[in-house]
A and B are shown apart, each in its own frame.
Chain A
Amino acid sequence: MSWGELGAGALRAALLFAAVGAGASVFAARYRDVRGLASARWCALLALALVALADLAMIGALVTHDFRIAYVASNNALETPVFYSVISLWAALEGSILLWTLVLAGATAFVAWRGTVAMPRLATTALAILFAMLAFFLLLVTTPAADPFAPSAFVPENGRGPNALLQNNPLMALHPPLLYLGYVLFSVPFAYAMASLILGEGGDRWLVATRRYALVSWALLGTGIVAGAWWSYAVLGWGGYWAWDPVENAAIMPWLTATAYLHSVMVEEKRRLLRTWNLALVIGTFALTILGTFLTRSGIVNSVHAFSLSAIGPLLLGYLVAILVCSSGLLLWRSRELADRGALGAPLSREAIFLFQNVLFVAATLTILLGTLYPLIAEALSGNQLSIGAPYFDRVEVPIALALLFLMGVGPQLPWHGASRATLERQFALPALAAAAGAIGAIIAGTRGSAPVLTYALAAFVAATVVQEIARGIRARGALHGERTAPAFVALFRRSGRRYGGYVVHLGVALIAVAIAASQSATVESEQTLAPGGSMSVAGRVVTLDAIRDVDEPQRRRVVADVRVSGPSGDTRLEPSFAFYPNATQPVGTPGISAGPGEDVYVILAAYDQRGKAWATIRTRVIPLVSWIWVGGAVIGVGSIIAALPPPRRRSVRAPAILEAAPAGAE
């Protein structure tokens, strides 16, 4: 049996089990039938095993260069190294959908076996929805729309090899799987939310059940986005990390609404308000993940990730429409029961800040959506072709981001249900001082532009509020339990992980904001044509071209410029290069980067003498603080882990406020 037959057969069998599982879950939920649930569970497990088998079959085909399969012929060649053969699984459309299907099957199995234990009826209904979604994606990979195992029209001697850009860096191993995990895991909160609407449960159980899924999905999506930015910076070689490319926008939009959701969820938990809003956010976030996939795969927008057109575009659009119609229909149907009986009642409270923050996040998301789709709209309406790029998005999003930074500092300091002016003034005195210090420090350091100055001031503000909150927590623990500072510090993160992990995330965000402000406003760039031995000076660094040479590798030919960069601790050798791949018409440039805590020196080989290697045009960028973006991403990751980990077992149970109030009236 060939890899292709194995994989295709496994996928079709999985589709069968997904359909049966959907039916079994519906039956089990409707009639509370235990055997129905058992069948659904086994269907989920079998579907997962079969999809995993199909993925392994594809990897097997790639590693053994089985060009009988069209996907392998287009994305693999005899010279492709094993590592890149394996990660070619997600190099192009069909393989990516196959990976997506695997993650979805995994989530379905997890909910089938773990989720249904805690809340049987809700989880089983959610399971039915997950099976339906899995069936859709399995349909995609078993029809010509995205069939990864479609046979080649004729079997070539050698395949085309992976896209040149994807072979250049091992980070290709990380970026797509992280993004897909983030996207797909959000299906679970969505499925639970829909189940809650279908069953008419007006409560918040679906929130509680899916809190961790939402947090993990958010963290993975965020990490995937940062990984993509790093790839853009280190691999694409234009010197930047974010270009507001439609596909980048497609990834960040659901992340923004998911961030809003993570916060407004707390309002629902504490005050039992904003139910309809939270449901709308979940639906919106999930719809944006599908929209994102649609924009990336359908070919209707011009972007870095321009994949080939196929029938998958209309199918994904149809799926998106079905989701939007069903979910908004359900939400509108139930909206009267879910409506809040009243307002928040306190404009200076944490819940109010969360509400404003939500407005800002949603406004940011909608403007990005508008900017990404506007060229489409304009051309359809007037025939005029125009572009919306970085200058627009920067101008619109930076003020929103600054406002969000401000709220990020204010929110955690305000108590629930509001606070008096006097309390607030005492609390914000020190952070305000920090903000002023940050602003004045920035001016003294010569910062130009109001956005960077405000960013530094607000980041200092946020840092000060976090430090203040941690100090307060330590003091409280000292008073309550008599703990000393160090154990109290640790205990804060272990016992109230959600809160203090959140603070760590805020610090990571502030760090990224500072890094972005510095790298965008204070980058110095220079371009010169040098002969070997010549040098150029940029922002106090001397860049010398030592030699230009050829390097032959099995899958590509490279032209490398040996460059030396002077630094505080000696010289660094860099090798910016051009790589020529047999299947690409243009060479792929790779930058040479000397990363440092204060700044990165980024060297690009822009052009070179093709005949005699007598000269090379070197473009050098000195980019301040950019490496802190990656550090900030790691800090956010650590904070998310702290927030997601369950606290150690406690002896006392803390009941919600409603139980504490009840005995006075109910007994």
Chain B
Amino acid sequence: MALPAGRLGTFPGGVRNALLIGALVALIVVLTLGFRRDPHDIRSAAVGKPAPAFDLASLDGTGRVSLQQHSGKVVVVNFFASWCVPCLEEHPALVRAWERYRTSDVVLIGVLYQDSVESGRSFVRRLGTTWPTAIDDDGRTAISFGVFGVPETFFIGPDGIIAGRHFGPIDEVTLIRGIDTLRRRP
């Protein structure tokens, strides 16, 4: 049924139309908001909370490595694995940071995650890792820290609270900045 020519439509007011327009505007706003964040960047829930205690076997078999041993110091915990390519990439940065801070009240601990002891040992031997390394063979420690995947690095202050977390391969600048911030704290 065609309309008589020349008759214009009208905009009826009404709650229904207002609701519809409001809903569409809300949808568009929500979608635009999505651009502000990277959906792959999941924040760590562990930051700001006391670091979970751990007591693990050391990788070289000479005893245990525990967080308790280093209370009062700045502790940097780095989760790694031998099959992890970015772990290989970040290793030089860790070496330089260790060189810089090893004589002071800072300790760097490497934790082997989702890997076999033999592979882990040959990895640290090949790369010349000189800081304490431990094995998290049942993955409990990693879960307690909220690890998403290797490599992941946690900064723990002298008060035992996790101050920061870095996901992915870490660089020297971030390491130094993180450690310095924690050292300056009372």
Contacts and interface: CB of A to CB of B under 8 A. Distances in A.
A and B: real partners?
A: yes
Interface of A: 200-203, 291, 294, 298-302, 306, 313-314, 317, 320-321, 324, 328, 332-337, 373, 376-377, 379-380, 385, 585, 610-611
B20 interface: yes
B81 to A, nearest CB: 11
Contact of B12 (A328, A335, A373): A335
- By size class, the interface of chain B is 20 to 34
B14 to A, nearest CB: 9
Contacts of A611: 116, 118-119
What 4 pairs between A and B have smallest CB-CB spacing?
A300-B34, A302-B39, A333-B9, A380-B33
A158 B43 CA distance: 37
A290 to B, nearest CB: 11
Interface of B: 1-3, 7, 9-12, 17, 20-21, 24, 27-28, 30-40, 42-43, 83, 85, 116, 118-119
Contacts of B24: 324, 328
B43 A202 contact: no
Given A302-B39, A324-B28, A333-B9, A376 B34 contact: yes
A299 B39 contact: yes
A300 B10 contact: no
A201 B10 CA distance: 15
B10 A380 contact: no
12 contacts: A202-B3, A203-B2, A302-B39, A320-B28, A320-B31, A324-B28, A328-B21, A332-B12, A333-B11, A336-B12, A373-B31, A376-B31
Nearest to B17: A332
Given A324-B24, A328-B24, A333-B9, A202 B31 contact: no
A301 B31 contact: no
Given A324-B28, A376-B30, A201 B12 contact: no
Contacts of A337: 3, 9
Contacts of A313: 35
Given A201-B3, A332-B17, A376 B33 contact: yes
A300 B28 CA distance: 13
A80 to B, nearest CB: 22
Given A299-B39, A332-B11, A317 B31 contact: yes
A301 B39 contact: yes
Nearest to B7: A200
B17 A200 contact: no
B40 to A, nearest CB: 6
Contacts, number: 79
Nearest to A321: B28
Contacts of A328: 20-21, 24
Report which residue of B33, B40, B118 has the largest number of chain A beta carbons within 10 angstroms of its beta carbon. B33
A245 to B, nearest CB: 12
Given A294-B31, A373-B31, A611-B116, 8 more contacts: A200-B7, A201-B3, A203-B2, A300-B37, A335-B9, A380-B33, A385-B42, A611-B119
B34 to A, nearest CB: 3
Contact of B9 (A299, A317, A334, A377): A334
Contacts of A320: 28, 31
A585 B85 CA distance: 7
Given A333-B11, A337-B3, A385-B42, A301 B118 contact: no
Given A203-B2, A332-B17, A385-B43, A314 B35 contact: yes
Nearest to A607: B114
Nearest to B12: A336
A216 to B, nearest CB: 28
Contacts of A380: 30, 33, 36
Contacts of B85: 585
Contacts of B12: 332, 335-336
Contacts of A301: 34, 39
Report which residue of B27, B85, B116 has the largest number of chain A beta carbons within 10 angstroms of its beta carbon. B27
B86 to A, nearest CB: 8
Given A333-B10, A334-B9, A611-B116, A373 B3 contact: no
Contacts of B35: 298, 300, 313-314
A217 B7 CA distance: 35
B28 A373 contact: no
A291 B27 CA distance: 10
Contacts of B31: 291, 294, 300, 317, 320, 373, 376
A333 B7 CA distance: 12
B39 A202 contact: no
Given A301-B39, A336-B12, A202 B2 contact: yes
A337 B12 CA distance: 11
Given A300-B34, A300-B39, A203 B28 contact: no
Contacts of A202: 1-3
Contacts of A314: 35
Nearest to B43: A385
Nearest to B39: A302
A294 B10 CA distance: 33
Nearest to A387: B42
A446 B103 CA distance: 68
B2 A201 contact: yes
Nearest to A324: B24
A328 B24 CA distance: 9
Report which residue of B21, B39, B118 has the largest number of chain A beta carbons within 10 angstroms of its beta carbon. B39
A321 B83 CA distance: 46
Contact of B40 (A302, A332, A336): A302
Given A299-B39, A380-B36, A611-B118, A336 B30 contact: no
Contacts of A200: 2-3, 7, 9
A377 B27 CA distance: 10
A332 B30 CA distance: 23
A200 B4 CA distance: 9
Report which residue of B9, B33, B38 has the largest number of chain A beta carbons within 10 angstroms of its beta carbon. B9
Given A324-B28, A385-B42, A385-B43, A298 B3 contact: no
B2 A317 contact: no
Nearest to B84: A585
A321 B40 CA distance: 26
Contacts of B10: 333, 336
Nearest to A313: B35
A306 B41 CA distance: 13
Nearest to B3: A200
Nearest to A335: B12
B28 A377 contact: no
